[in-house]
Amino acid sequence: MPSRNNVRFVAVAVFAVAVFMGGCGPGKPDPLLKERPTPARVGGAIPVTPVKQPVDLASFRADPCGSLKREDIAALVIDPPDRVKPARADSPLTGCAWVTRDAPQLRVQVPAVKEKSLAGLSTLSASNQGTYSGWRELSIEGLPAAQYHLFGDMKSCAMVVGVSDDAALEFDYMYPDGVDSQYWGADRCAGVLKAAELVIGNLRDR
């Protein structure tokens, strides 16, 4: 069974550096986005294998923090995104966290547990319902996926997307106490769905 420590890969110290490096200037800066981001297009559940439109993770492994563009960070974390400091993680897994104070926190990574595919994680979720609370299968960008609340934490919404028959990406969108999203309000799951849609689209364009 995965533990909280190995699933949430970014250390407290890393988050603290990312949070307190952000500065505050006089006045309210103009947002980068001219329009509100549109909600992610989500489909119903599809078979987890075979994945008919696989995504190569080579570019993600080389530069996980490059999987989101500046305008994507504005849509998901805070707009304008200038004070967001991406934090990369490597061994034993690969991923990136986008964190700043008084804003939602986003993490994208390869699975932190032994099972690296959506099929394997689906089996794991069935025997670890407390870890993968509310597991719900769906599809996004033509890929099989599942949404859940990690360890039952309702302050966050998580999902895993099967990018191939033997590989997946995990997403976790978390709100600190007293914080709502600039564009998604209190709907954490709308934010994590949009994150998955944007990351998958960017990886396909690379």
Instruction: State pLDDT tens for residues 94-103.
Output: 999 999 989 9
Which amino acid appears at position 169 of this protein? L
| pLDDT tens digits along 106-142 | 999 999 888 899 999 999 999 888 889 999 999 999 9
Instruction: Give the integer Cα–Cα distance in Å for 43 and 133.
Output: 20
Residue 102 placed within a domain = yes
Q: Is 51 within a domain?
A: yes
High-pLDDT (> 70) share of the chain, %: 87
Residue 36 forms part of a structural domain = no
Structural domain includes residue 45? yes
Note whether residue 200 is domain-resident. Answer: yes
194: Cα separation from own chain's centroid: 9
Q: Can you give the pLDDT at residue 15?
A: 38
Does 152 or 195 have the greater pLDDT score? Answer: 195
Number of domains making up the chain: 1
pLDDT digits (tens, 9 = 90+) for 30-77: 999 999 999 999 999 999 999 999 999 999 999 999 999 999 999 999
Write out the residue range of the structural domain in which residue 177 sits: 4-23+41-205
Q: Which residues are CB-contacts of 141 (< 8 A; sequence separation ≥ 6)?
A: 53, 161, 196, 197, 200, 201, 204
pLDDT of residue 155: 85
